[in-house]
Structure 1
Amino acid sequence: MATLQASSFLCASGSISSGQNQRRRIAAPTNLPKLRTSTLSLPNLPTIRGLVEELDLKSGNYTTTTTTKIEKHSNSPKIRPQANDSDPIVIAKLYAIMEAVADRVEIHKNIGEQRNNWNSLLLTSINAITLAAAIMTGIAATRALGAPIMAVKLASTIMYLSATGILWIMNKIQPSQLVEEQQNAARLFKQLHGQIQTLVTIGSPTGSDVKEAMEKVVALDRAYPLPLIGVMLEKFPSTVEPAVWWPKQLGQKMKENSGKMDWNGWNGKLEDEMRELMGIVERKDKANYLKVGEKLVKLNKKLALTGPILTGLAAVGSAFTGSSSLGAWAAVLGVVGGALASIVNTFEHGGQVGMVFEMYRSNAGFFSLMEESIESNLNESDVSRRENGELFEMKVALQLGRSLSELRDLASSSSRKGDEKSASKIF
C-alpha cells in the first residue's frame, strides 16, 4: 500500500513538472508577433487588374491616354472606357497627314531650287550662245581673214537657231515663275503642318478635322502642281485671277452649340468693322494687285515673243551675210538682232518678270481668302458657332501687319471717300 502511494506521488509530481516544462516551452515564444490567420486573404486577379486605370497607347511620336473606370457587380468587375478627348484613330490619321505635308514641303523646296538653277543656267547659256553668234556674224561680214566665210556663217546661223529653240521653251515654262510657285507651295504646306500640329497638341480633333485637312492638301496640290506637262499653270492667262489654294467650299471650323446664348467675342461694332475691312480689301488691295498683275502678264508676253523673233531674224541675217543682194543690211541684222535679243532675255528672265507676276497673283489670292473667311463668319447667324471674335480680329490684324488699334482706326476711317488706304502693310 505504501508502495502504491509512493508511485502515485511520483507520477503526480512528474506530470506536474512535465506540465510546467510544457508551459515554459509554450510561453517562451510569446514575445513574437502573433499571426492572425483570420485576417489573411489572397487578392483575386480582377482586383489587381482594376488598379491599372491608364493605358498608354503609343504610336510613333505621340502618346494617347485612355482612362478606364472599374465597376464591380457581384463577383466580376467590369471595365468601361470613359469618353476620351480625342479618338486615337483620328490622331493617327492626322499624324499621317502631317507626315505627307512635311514631305510635300521638302519636295517643293527641292524642286524650287532646281528650277531656280534652270532659270540662271538657261539664261546664261542663251546669252552666251547669242553673243557668240553675233560676234561670228561680225567676223564673217568683215572678211578680214580672207578665207572662205561659209563655215563661220553656218556656225553662227546654227547657234542662232539653237538659241531661238531653247528660248522658246524657256519662255513657255517661265522658270522664274515656277520658282515662285514652289516657294509659295512650300510656305503654305508648312503653314498647314503647323495648323495640324497645333490642333493635335491643344485641340480635340474629330473626323471632320481629318476630312478638312485632306481637302486642304488636295487643294494645295491642285493649286501648285509639280509636273510641267499637262497640268502646268497657264503662264500667260487672258484674264488674271487670284490664286486659289483652299477648298472651293471654305469650311469655317465652328463650335458645337451648347444650347445657351453665347456672343463668342462678337458684337455689333466688331461685325461692322469686319464688313468695312472686307470692302477695303476688295476695293483697294486685291484690285490693285490684280491690276498690276494684268500689266505684268502683258509685258511678259511681249518679251517672250520679242526674244525668239529677234534671234530668228538674227539667224536669217547671219545666213545672208556677205550676199551681194542684201549688202551690209544682212550683217547689221545678224549682229544687232543678237545683241537686242540678249538684252530682252536678260530683262525678262534676269528681271524675273514671271516671278513678280506670280507673286502679285498669289497676294491677290491671299486677300480673296481673307474676304471669304470674314464673309463665312458674318454669314453664320448662330454667333456661338463662329470663330471666337477676339481671336479672329487678332488674326486679321496680324495678317495685315497692323495692331488692333490701327485695324479699328482703318475700319472707322474707311467711310471717307478719296482718303481710303490699303488694308495691308505687309504686301
Structure 2
Amino acid sequence: MAKLYGILEAVADRVEMHKNIGEQRSNWNSLLLTSINALTLAAATMTGIAATSVISGGAPVAAIKLSSTVMYLSATGMLSIMNKIQPSQLAEEQRNATRLFKQLHNQIQTIIAIGNPTTSDVKEMMEKVLALDKAYPLPLLGAMLEKFPTNIEPAVWWPEQRRRQEKGLDRKKSWNGWNAKLEEEMTEIFGVIRKKDKADYLRLGGKALKLNKFLAISGPVLTGLAALGSAFVGSPDHGSWAVMLGVVAGALASVSKHIRALATQVGMVFEMYRSNAGFFKLMEESIESNLTENDMVRRGKWGIV
C-alpha cells in the first residue's frame, strides 16, 4: 500500500508537469507563428517600398534592402527551428500524456480503495508509469519523438503484455471458460481492428505526414528565395524579377505557414492519427491476449487503458 501511494504521488506530479509543459508548448506555437508572419510580411512590405524608391529616384534604399534581407533570413532560421520541433505536435503529445496519466492515477486510486493490493499490482503500475514516460518524453533535446518518421507506427504507451503462451489465433485451444461463439466473434473483431480501423488511421497519418513535410520544406525555401530577391532590388542587371521574388515569395511563405500551423495544425493532426492508431493497437493486443489465455481466472485481465 505504501508503494502504491508513492507511485500515486509520482503520477499526480507527472499529470501537472505534462499539463504545464503542454500549455507552454502551445504558447510557443502561437508566439512563433505570430513572430514569423510579422517578420515575413514586414520584409515583403519593405522590399516593395525599396523597389518604389528606386523607380522614383528617391533616397538611397540600401538600409531598407538590408533590413528586409535580415528579416527574411531571421524568418528562415526561425521556420527551420519550428519545423524541427513542431510545437503544435508537441502540445498534442503533452495533452495525450496528461489524459493517460490521469487515467492511470484513477486506476491506482481504485486499487487502493478496493484494498489488499499485491506486489504484482505495484509492479504493473510501475511498468505503466515507465511506459508512459518513454512514450511521451518531457525533454526536447535527445529525447524528443521523431517528428518526420520514415515508417509510421501507432503510438504505444502501455507495457508489453507478458503472456504465458505463444501468440497465435489459428491454433487449437483447450476449454477456458468462453464458448466457441464468443471466441469466434472476438476473432472477427480482432480482424476488423487490424485490417480496417488501425490501418485507416495509419493511412490518414501518412497523408498528414506528407503534407506536413511539404509545407515544412516550402516555408524556409520561400523565405530564403525572398531574402535573395530583396538583396538584389534596384540592381540594374536583374530587372523586376528581384522585386517579384522578394514580395511574392514572402507572401507565399506567409500563406504556407498560416495553412500549416494555424488553419490545419498538421503536426497536431498527425499526432492525433498516430494516437488513435495506438488505441486500436491496444484493443488488438488486449483481444489477442484474452483469446490466447487458457487460464479462466486470468482471462479478461488485459483491460483497455
Instruction: Tell me whether the two structures share a fold, i.e. TM-score over 0.5.
Output: yes
Q: Does 1:202 align with 2:114?
A: yes
Q: Secondary structure at the match of 1:385?
A: coil
Matching residue's letter, 1:376? S
Q: Does 1:319 align with 2:267?
A: no
Aligned CA RMSD, in angstroms, stands at 1.8
Does the 8 Å contact 1:250/1:373 carry over to 2?
no
Q: Shift in Å at residue 281 of structure 1?
A: 0.6
Aligned twin of 1:92: 2
Aligned twin of 1:357: 270
Matching residue's letter, 1:207? T
Q: Does 1:382 align with 2:295?
A: yes
Aligned twin of 2:51: 141
C-alpha separation between the residues in 1 aligned to 2:42 and 2:160? 51
C-alpha separation between the residues in 2 aligned to 1:194 and 1:200? 10
Q: Does 1:116 align with 2:36?
A: no
Aligned twin of 2:246: 334
Aligned twin of 1:403: none
Q: Shift in Å at residue 387 of structure 1?
A: 2.0
* Shift in alpha-carbon separation, 1:251–1:121, aligned structure 2, 3 A: farther
Does the 8 Å contact 1:141/1:331 carry over to 2?
yes
Q: Secondary structure at the match of 1:293?
A: helix
* 1:198-248 deviation line (CA, Å, top 9, x unaligned): 111125310011111111101100000011101100000011000011112
Q: Secondary structure at the match of 1:238?
A: coil
Aligned twin of 1:369: 282
Matching residue's letter, 2:179? N
Aligned twin of 1:235: 147
Match of 2:182 among 270, 286, 290: 270
Pairs within 5 Å for 1:46-61: none
Greater percentage in helix: 2
User: Per chain length, whose mean CA-contact separation is higher, i.e. which structure has more relative contact order (CA < 8 Å, sep 6+)?
Assistant: 2
Greater percentage in strand: 1
Does the 8 Å contact 1:137/1:335 carry over to 2?
yes
Percent of paired sites with the same residue: 70
Q: Shift in Å at residue 251 of structure 1?
A: 6.7
Aligned twin of 1:127: 37
C-alpha separation between the residues in 2 aligned to 1:186 and 1:387? 26
* Shift in alpha-carbon separation, 1:244–1:363, aligned structure 2, 3 A: same
C-alpha separation between the residues in 2 aligned to 1:169 and 1:132? 20
Does the 8 Å contact 1:250/1:372 carry over to 2?
no
Match of 2:191 among 275, 279, 291: 279
Alignment length, in residue pairs? Answer: 292
C-alpha separation between the residues in 2 aligned to 1:283 and 1:362? 17
Does the 8 Å contact 2:47/2:64 carry over to 1?
yes
* 1:64-104 deviation line (CA, Å, top 9, x unaligned): xxxxxxxxxxxxxxxxxxxxxxxxxxx11001101100110
Matching residue's letter, 1:288? D
Matching residue's letter, 1:359? M
Does the 8 Å contact 1:212/1:251 carry over to 2?
no
Does the 8 Å contact 1:93/1:210 carry over to 2?
yes
C-alpha separation between the residues in 1 aligned to 2:251 and 2:181? 62
* 1:380-405 deviation line (CA, Å, top 9, x unaligned): 112232127xxx8xx77xx9xxxxxx
Q: Secondary structure at the match of 1:380?
A: coil
Aligned twin of 2:170: none
Largest Rg, 1 or 2: 1
Q: Secondary structure at the match of 2:297?
A: helix
Matching residue's letter, 2:49? I
Aligned twin of 2:96: 184
Q: Which stretch shows the higher mean deviation, 299-308 or 375-384?
A: 375-384
* 1:335-365 deviation line (CA, Å, top 9, x unaligned): 0010000000011111210000000000000
C-alpha separation between the residues in 1 aligned to 2:72 and 2:35? 12
TM-score (norm 2): 0.92
Q: Which runs of 5+ in 1 are unaligned?
A: 1-90, 253-261, 400-427
Runs of 4+ in 1 over 6 A off after TM superposition: none
Match of 1:104 among 3, 14, 29: 14
C-alpha separation between the residues in 1 aligned to 2:95 and 2:136? 10
C-alpha separation between the residues in 2 aligned to 1:206 and 1:374? 25
Aligned twin of 2:256: 344
